Amino acid sequence: MPLEHKISQAKAKLLVDYPLFGTIASKLELVKNDDIESFKGNGIKLEYNSDFLERLTAAEMEFVFANGAMHASLAHEQRKNGRSGWLWQLATDYAINDMLVENNLVRPDEAHYSKRFSGLYAEEIYAQLKEDILRDELEYEADDIDDIDDVQSQNSPSEQIQEEQLYDEFAKAVFEEEIKSGEAPSSIERFFKIRCSGKINWRDELKAALERFHKDDYTLLPPNKKFLHMNLYIPSSISQRFNLVVAVDTSGSVDEKLLNEFLSELNFLTNTISNYQIELLLCDDKIISHKTFYSGDILEAEIKGGGATDFRPVFEFVERELQDVKLLIYFSDLEGVFPKEEPNYAVKWVSPKDSDVPFGEVIILRD
C-alpha cells in the first residue's frame, strides 16, 4: 500500500475512534524528513521519517498523528516561559504520550514514555528532568536560551506564536464540543482548561454515546458538511447495522421505575437509527435471559432474578457468544463483582448514583 494512502486511512480511522485527536490532526502539516529517526512535532508541523512510518501498524500510526495533533494544539512557545527549548519539548512529549497510552492508543517503541511520569503535567516532568541532569552533572542548556530545535520552521518566533495561538483556539473549540458530548479523552484536562457549563443531562450523554458508536464506517465522499466552513475535508460517517449490547442488573436493589425510564429513553434514541441490532441481557449473579431486538422492535425488560450482583457473566457471555461489539451499556446500581480485565470495547455504566468503576464511564441516571 502506498504510504500516502496508509497515512490517509490512519488519519480517517483516528477521526472515527478519537474525534478530538482526529479533527486536530486533519489540520496538521505533515513534512517528510528522512534526516530524523522517527517523528517529531514542534507545535507547527509533524515531521516524519518515511521508512519509520512504513514500518508502523495502522494503530501505531494513529498514535503518531494523535501525538502531532496534541503538540500542535498546546502553544509550546507561549507555555515555555523561559524554559530550555529542547527539554520543554521532551517533557511535553512524555506528558502527551502518557495521556495517549491511558486512552488505549498503541504506542510505537520509539515514542518517549515512562511510567515514572504517569499522570504528571509537562511542567512537573520538566522539573524532574532538569533535576536529573543537574544531579548527574550533565551539560545543561540554561533556561531563557533557545536551541536550534526550538523553531523548526523559517517562521520568526512571533509568527510561530501566532500560528500556535490559532491551533490552540481551534483545539479548545473542538475540546469543548467533546466535553459537552461526554466523549472527551481521559486525562485531557492536564492540557486544556475545562469550562464547565453545569450538570450534564444523562439523556444527552446517552445520546452522544449512541451517536458516536453507531457511526462505524466512514468515507471521504461526500465530506462531512459540518466542517467545510473551516476548509476541513473530513470523512462522513455512514451507518451500517449498529450492534449494541444492553445489560440490565436484575438484582433486588435495582429500581424498576428508573429502569423503565432508561429503556423508554433508549427506545426513543434507537428510533433515530435506521438499522440496528440490540442484544438485551438480564443478569443478577448469572444470565437470566438473552433476547435480540431489531430495528422497529420495542425494547422491553421484565425484572426477574433478585439475587446478588455479579457483572462478570455478562462480559463472559459477550466474549463467548457475540462478535463485533463496540459498545456495552450496563444498567446497574454498581454494587457487585466486576471483571478483573477491561474488555476491548467501550462500556457505559448507567446508574442512579455515581460510583468508582474499574473501567468504562458512568452515566448518572437522574434529572
Q: Is residue 108 part of a domain?
A: yes
**Which one of 158, 174, 190 terminates a domain?**
190
Alpha carbon 100 to chain centroid distance?
A: 8
Write out the residue range of the structural domain in which residue 83 sits: 3-190
pLDDT of residue 195: 45
Cis peptide leading into 222, omega within 30 of 0?
yes
Tally the C-alpha atoms within 13 A of residue 275's C-alpha that lie toward its C-beta: 6
pLDDT of residue 231: 58
Identify whether residues 292 and 160 lie together within a single domain.
Answer: no
pLDDT of residue 281: 92
Identify whether residues 162 and 290 lie together within a single domain.
Answer: no
Identify whether residues 258 and 348 lie together within a single domain.
Answer: yes
pLDDT of residue 166: 58
Q: Is residue 216 part of a domain?
A: no
Q: Is residue 217 part of a domain?
A: no
Interior CA angle at 179 toward 176 and 184, to 5°?
A: 110
Helix (H, G, I), strand (E, B) or coil at 163: helix
Per-position pLDDT tens, the chain of length 367: 788 888 888 889 988 888 888 888 887 788 898 888 888 876 667 888 989 989 999 899 999 999 888 887 775 555 555 566 678 888 888 999 999 999 999 999 988 999 888 888 878 888 888 888 777 655 444 444 344 333 333 444 455 555 555 556 666 666 666 666 666 777 776 676 544 443 456 777 777 777 777 654 444 344 555 555 555 545 544 446 778 899 988 876 667 777 777 788 788 777 777 778 899 999 988 999 999 998 878 887 776 656 678 999 999 999 999 987 888 999 888 888 999 999 988 899 988 888 889 998 888 876 5
Angle at which helices 58-73 and 85-102 cross, to 10°: 130
Identify whether residues 29 and 130 lie together within a single domain.
Answer: yes
List C-alpha distances in Å: 93 to 71, 121, 142, 146, 305: 8, 11, 20, 18, 51
**Which one of 133, 157, 190 terminates a domain?**
190
pLDDT of residue 317: 96
Identify whether residues 185 and 246 lie together within a single domain.
Answer: no
The CATH number given to whatever domain includes residue 245 is 3.40.50.410
Q: Is residue 207 part of a domain?
A: no
Alpha carbon 289 to chain centroid distance?
A: 33
Identify whether residues 160 and 248 lie together within a single domain.
Answer: no
The residue behind cell 495533533 is: 69
How many CB atoms are closer than 10 A to CB 147? 12
Whether the pTM exceeds 0.85: the reply is no
Closest CA to 11 of 225, 1, 23: 23
* Order of strands, sheet of 29-32, starting from the edge strand that comes earlier in the sequence: 29-32, 45-48, 39-41
Identify whether residues 167 and 250 lie together within a single domain.
Answer: no
pLDDT of residue 264: 81
Alpha carbon 16 to chain centroid distance?
A: 10
DSSP-derived secondary structure for 221-238: EEE-GGGGGGT---EEE-
pLDDT of residue 108: 92
List C-alpha distances in Å: 194 to 99, 335, 367: 16, 30, 23
Identify whether residues 102 and 166 lie together within a single domain.
Answer: yes
Identify whether residues 40 and 127 lie together within a single domain.
Answer: yes
* Number of domains making up the chain: 2
Backbone angles phi, psi at 218, to 5 degrees: -155, 155
Q: Is residue 203 part of a domain?
A: no
pLDDT of residue 106: 93
